[in-house]
Structure 1
Amino acid sequence: MKEIHLQILNELQQVAEGLDDEQIKPFIEELRKADRIFVSGEGRSGLMGKAFAMRLMHAGYTVFVTGETITPSIKEGDVLVSISGSGNTKSVKMVAEQAKSTGALVLLVSTNQDSEIGRFADRNIIIKAATKHDHSRAFSTIQPMGNQFDQSVHLLLDAIVIALTKETENLNEVMKQQHANLE
C-alpha cells in the first residue's frame, strides 16, 4: 500500500513540475483584485472547486459556488474560476460565457491548451495531467480516470490560497475564526 501511495505522490510531483508560473502569477493577481470570486465546475472538478471556495472563505474572501441557491448574480469586478479537465464541459462553458457577458473576468484551470472555454478566458492555467477523456500514454499515472487531474487541481488551488495569504499574520487563527461553528 505504501508503494502505491508513494507512486501517486511521485506522479503529482511530476505534474507540479510541469506547471508554468507565468500562468499562475497573473491568475493569483486577478483573484487578489476581485470584488468577489465565483467558482464553477462539474463532478469531481466541482468538488475541488468547492474545497477551493471554502479555503478562500476561511481566508476572508467573498466567494460563491455557482449553482447554489444563495449564489448572487455576477457582475463587472468579479472573477469566475472555471475548473474543467477538458475545458469544454458544456455547463461550465455556459456559466463562463454568462460571466464574460456581464464583464466579469473568467479564469480557467484545465488540461487543454486549446479548449472552448480557454479561447475566451482571461487567464488559463494548464495542468499536464490525465483526465477521464485523455488518459493516453503521455501521462504517467497508475490512477484511473481523472484522479491525477483532480488531485493536482486540489494541490494547485491550495497553493494559490497560500500565496494569497502568505503575508497574513497568524493565518491559522484567522482561518479558524471563519470556520463553521454550527456543528
Structure 2
Amino acid sequence: MSFIPTILKEVETVLGKVSEEQLQELAANLQKAKRIFIIGEGRSGLMAKSFAMRLMHLGATVFVVGETITPSIAEGDLLVAVSGSGTTKSVVWTAEKTKSLGCEVVAVTTNPESALAGAANHILHVPAATKYRRENELQSIQPLGSLFDQCVHILFDTICLLFSQLNEVDHADAFKRHSNLE
C-alpha cells in the first residue's frame, strides 16, 4: 500500500482551506516589523526555526525565542507563535507576555478558539489534525501532529516567497546570506 498519495491529499485538503490573502497579509506584517521573534516547541518548534532561518536568508532581522543570543522584545517587533493545539504553555505564556509589552502576535494554530489565539493580534488557522484528534479536526492517517507540521512548513515557505517579493530579494541575494561555514 502506498501512503504518499493519501498524505499528499491530506496536505492538499488543509492548504486548500487557507486563504492566500491571509498569507499575503502576514508577509506584509512581517515586512513592517522592526524585528521578528519566533517560538514553538517540539516539531512545531522545528518548523518555526526553519521559518526563522529562511526569513534570515531573505534579510529579516529574526530571532528564535529561547536561544542564547535572543535579545529582549520591544515596540515595533512581532512574535510568530506556533502551536498546533494552541495550548502549549510556554508558547501561550510568551504570546501573552509579548502582547502585554505592546508588540504584535501572530498565532499559528489549528484552534482559533485556543488560549494562544486569544493572545494574538493575527491568527493563521491551519485546519489540520493534531496529536489530540479533537472532534472538529480533519482526519489523518499520520501519527500525532505530522499533518499540522507538514502544512505549516509549506505555509511558512509560501509566506517567505511573498516576503521575498515584497522586499525584492532574489535567489542570489538569499544565497549570499546562506551559511558558508558548512
Does residue 42 of structure 2 align to residue 43 of structure 1?
Answer: yes
Match for residue 117 of structure 2? 118
Gaps of 5+ in 2: none
Residues 157-168 of structure 1 mapped to structure 2, 5 A cutoff:
157-166=156-165
Q: Are the aligned partners of 2:76 and 2:103 in contact in 1 as well (CA < 8 Å)?
A: yes
- Partners in 2 of 1:80 and 1:170 — Cα distance? 22
Counterpart of 2:88 in structure 1 is 89
Aligned pair in 2 of structure 1 residues 7, 118: CA closer, same or farther (>3 Å)?
Answer: same
Question: 2:93 & 2:136 partners in 1: Cα distance?
Answer: 31
Q: How does 1:59-74 map to 2 (within 5 A)?
A: 59-74=58-73
Work out whether residues 23 and 125 of structure 1, in 8 Å CA contact, stay in contact via their aligned partners in 2. Answer: yes
In structure 2, relative to structure 1, the CA distance for the partners of 1:114 and 1:136 (3 Å cut) is closer
The equivalent residue for 2:132 is 133
Matched, 1:25 2:62: no
TM-score between the two structures when normalised by the length of structure 2: 0.93
Q: Is the CA contact 1:26–1:123 (under 8 Å) kept in the aligned structure 2?
A: no
Which blocks of at least 5 consecutive residues in structure 1 are unaligned?
none
Alpha-carbon offset, residue 26 of structure 1: 2.7
- Cα displacement (A) at 1:40: 0.4
Task: Check if 1:57 corresponds to 2:56.
Answer: yes
Q: Deviations over 1:95-129 (max 9, x none)?
A: 11111122111001000010112112100011110
Tell me, what secondary structure is at the counterpart of 2:37?
strand
Q: Aligned in 2, Cα 1:182/1:130: closer, same or farther, shift over 3 Å?
A: same
Whole-Å Cα distance in 2 between the matches of residues 32 and 182 of structure 1? 28
**Which residue of structure 2 aligns with residue 34 of structure 1?**
33
Identity across matched positions, percent: 48
Q: Cα distance, 1:180 vs. partner?
A: 0.8
Q: Is the 8 A contact 2:127 2:137 kept in 1?
A: no
The match for 2:142 is 143
| Equivalence for 1:15 | 14
Aligned residues: 182
How far is the alpha carbon of 1:134 from its aligned partner? Answer: 2.2
Per-residue deviation, 1:23? 3.5
1:6-51, Cα deviation, whole Å (9 max, x unpaired): 2211111110001134533332221110000000001111000000
Q: TM-score, normalised by structure 1?
A: 0.93
CA RMSD of aligned residues (A): 1.7
* 1:179 paired residue number: 178
